[in-house]
Amino acid sequence: MNQAPTDRTRIRRVANNAHYDSATLHAIIDDAYLCHIAFSEGKGAHCIPTACWREHDHLYIHGSNGSRMVKRLLESECCVTITHLDGLVLARSAFSHSMNYRSAMVYGRFEKVEDAGARQAMEAFMERIVPGRQADVRPGSDKEYAATTVLRISLAEAACKVRSGGPKDDEEDLSWPAWAGVLPWTRTALAPEPAPDCGIEAPVYVRDWQRGA
């Protein structure tokens, strides 16, 4: 059923931006809170955003037992993609404009994480989202865990594509009198917004939010 890994993950366009090492892949996943998952159904495909996290060489997601996505992902191959957009690249020529980005694509099939493994994974998810939070919250009940499916996919068949740095104009365009360079972005934390009915003092992970995110 699987194609050979090199068929699905070999990057064809701008192949010198391709990376196939775990360090690049893990860093891209660990900087993300969500992924987009493509899966086929009937005559078309769906592209669903969902929260994700990594443990070792697997990417994890979760969903309600009854969700269409959970059912389909257990039945068929999919493609999981994460993309971070880092900046706009302004070149002298219109067609040399680009964007700086880091993207990862994972191909394969999700498997269900059972019982104790699912609990451990959901706790790891919380720890990933907000380190230290797990100890403060009302833990999941047996009923809540029973209604939730945790899925994971191996990172064995994956590829990354990364563009960074300045514009690359053709030699003959370098003298064109246009500013050239990068307009970069970053994700910045804003002030925490306590719920109106929250009388609890902000814990350290909330106070650190604005500095650390």
Pick out residues in 37-76 that bind a second copy (CB under 8 A): 37-40, 42-49, 51, 64, 67-68, 76
Q: Are strands 34-41 and 44-51 parallel, antiparallel or unpaired?
A: antiparallel
List the one residue from 18, 27, 124, 130 that touches a second copy (CB under 8 A): 130
Residues in a beta bridge with 47: 38
List the one residue from 5, 97, 154, 162 that touches a second copy (CB under 8 A): 97
**Looking at beta carbons only, is 58 or 82 nearer to a second copy?**
82
- 211 touches a second copy by CB under 8 A: no
Nearest 10 degrees: Cα torsion 153, 154, 159, 161: 50
- Pick the piece of the chain touching a second copy (CB under 8 A) from 21-29, 53-61, 110-118, 170-178: 170-178
Q: Tell me how crowded residue 69 is: count the other CB atoms within 10 A of its CB.
A: 20
Compute how many residues bind a second copy; rule: CB under 8 A.
Answer: 94
Per-residue binding string, a second copy, 7-26, x by CB under 8 A, is: -x---xx-------------
- Pick the piece of the chain touching a second copy (CB under 8 A) from 19-27, 53-61, 110-118, 127-135: 127-135
Asked whether the beta carbons of 138 and 124 are under 8 A apart, the reply is: no
**Looking at beta carbons only, is 74 or 202 nearer to a second copy?**
202
- 189 touches a second copy by CB under 8 A: yes
DSSP state of 173: G
List the one residue from 11, 55, 71, 103 that touches a second copy (CB under 8 A): 103
Classify residue 135 as left (phi > 0), alpha (psi -120 to 50) or beta.
Answer: alpha
Asked whether the beta carbons of 46 and 67 are under 8 A apart, the reply is: no
Asked whether the beta carbons of 183 and 97 are under 8 A apart, the reply is: no
